[in-house]
Structure 1
Amino acid sequence: MQANVGSIDRAIRIVAGAGLIAATLFGVIGAWGWIGVIPLATGLFRFCPVYLPLGLSTCRLNR
């Protein structure tokens, strides 16, 4: 698994994912907020499986 998520992309994913999960825990939004686990995980692991078939990479090392 080669990293394909860059620094800015990673920060946005982690903040958005954590925000969605927090909103769910505080009752602001419904159970759909648990979808935040996906961007949180892809940000933490620096790998997005959707980028593979599209040939995308926001990581400077892989360009």
Structure 2
Amino acid sequence: MMSNVGTFDRALRVIVGLALLSLVFVGPQTPWGWVGLVPLLTGTISFCPLYRILGLSTCKRCES
């Protein structure tokens, strides 16, 4: 599984994932916050299956 998520994209995914996940425990306590697991997981492992399907990559070192 080759990395296709760049550094900025990874950081953004982790931040958004944590923010969404926090909605489950604090704030409105909505179950929709579990959606935050998707960007958190893809940011953590540096791989996005949707990017693979669409042929995209934000990883500079992987484009060469």
Q: Report the TM-score when normalising by structure 2.
A: 0.92
- Give 1:24 shift: 1.7
- Give 1:7 shift: 0.4
User: What SS is found at the alignment partner of 1:50?
Assistant: helix
Q: Report the TM-score when normalising by structure 1.
A: 0.93
For structure 1, the 5+ residue unaligned runs are: none
Q: What is aligned with 1:18? A: 18
CA displacement 1:20-60 (0-9 Å, x = unmatched): 11122114251011000000000000000001111100001
Find the aligned partners of 1:37 and 1:9 in 2 and give their Cα distance.
15
Find the aligned partners of 1:50 and 1:39 in 2 and give their Cα distance.
11
For structure 2, the 5+ residue unaligned runs are: none
**Which stretches of structure 1, 4 residues or more, deviate above 6 A after TM superposition?**
none
C-alpha RMSD of matched pairs (Å): 1.0
